[in-house]
Amino acid sequence: STSGRVIKCKAAISWEPKKPFSIEEVEVAPPQAHEVRIKILATGICRSDDHVMSGALTVPFPIILGHEAAGIVESIGEGVTCVKPGDKVIPLFVPQCGECSPCVSPKGNLCTTNDIGAVRSLMKDGTTRFTCKGKQIHQFISTSTFTEYTVVHETSVVKIDADAPPEKVCLIGCGFSTGYGAAVNTAKVERGSTCAVFGLGGVGLSVVMGCKAAGASRIIGVDINKDKFAKAKELGATECINPQDFTKPIEDVLRELTGGNGVDYSFEVIGRTDTMTAALASCHMNYGMSVIVGVPPSASKITYPAMLLFTGRTWKGSIFGGWKSKDSVPKLVADYMRKKFNLDALITHTLPFDKINEGFELLRKGKSIRTVLVF
């Protein structure tokens, strides 16, 4: 048994920004009290991980990235009761402690124990469970899934259906839930409404799926990569437009497409401040709502005409689709198992873990929607 012992395994380490991942042997310490060690079975490649690699998101290095995964509990620390060895689980980059104000309030989901705002990239006791070549390796947003084994706090893991395919439901750990929830939870898209989705990657397409599930009558996809249009229409977009096909600002184009009114709901799923402002300007001047879903660069600031909000528009942010993670993830997995939504359509590539750099190149070149790495 490996319980209580250090495990040596493979992990993809980011030693510094703008450099490829390095597959290394790491030592993974046993879980301490209220911690869980997980054998990762499958992990998705998310744009947020690439934002770290590009330097857009500031984190301490060296680090093991990855936050969208499914696996099996290998061992648990003292006091853990929510899972047991052998359970199939999804790590949660948005924890749920159940006690802080966002956890208790029906209005929130960003547990105050998160490692997203004031990033520490360490366990709650200020240390890490990863060591490589004698160096301490940082952990990423409570998860670190680009490794065969990881350790998370018990607030950052939840048991799921034992029959759920890990190479599919890993997307519920981030991309699908983030996009789908932005439409159904954050915006609360209404039947018959008109929506615009800026960015048709894995998360943007999940927004499209959420808008369709909510009964939107018109869903306009916006992307500069026309190769994504067919998939967007397959998943629910009624039409797609490329901003590069127009000489006027895209918000003007969207207002013209909607009889001068603008859309009821717009979603920015790219992470650029210029498209965030354009998405806001594209929604109805009085009762339109624009939701920021894409992760902005750490140092970015937005400048916009104040009149855009004064006339009545609502501008909202959405993290993990507004889902309370421990409560919602098992239900979303169950919904997938009942074929309530189609995760398979989002997965364009499945690669062995050691081809992680190839997977990121597919993402950067716009040739993949979601690449899943399997161990």
Clarify whether 48 is annotated catalytic.
yes
**Are the CB atoms for 202 and 171 separated by under 8 Å?**
yes
> Which one of 14, 34, 48, 266 is the catalytic residue?
48
Annotated catalytic residue within 34, 51, 138, 284: 51
Active-site annotation holds for 46? yes
Alpha helices by DSSP H, the chain: 47-54, 101-104, 166-169, 175-181, 202-213, 229-235, 250-257, 273-282, 307-310, 325-337, 356-364
Instruction: For residue 174, indicate whether it is catalytic.
Output: yes
User: Of residues 67, 138, 153, 284, which has the active-site annotation?
Assistant: 67
Using alpha carbons, select from 119, 2, 16, 15 the residue that is nearest to residue 67.
119
How many angstroms separate the CA atoms of 277 and 269, rounded? 12
Of 14, 34, 46, 283, catalytic: 46
Collapse the DSSP code of 354 into the 3-class scheme (helix H, G, I; strand E, B; otherwise coil) and give the result: helix
Of residues 103, 111, 170, 174, which has the active-site annotation? 174
The CA-to-CA distance between both ends of the chain, in Å, stands at: 20
3-state SS, residue 304:
coil
CA nearest to 166, candidates 73, 259, 53, 281: 73
Catalytic residues: 46, 48, 51, 67, 174
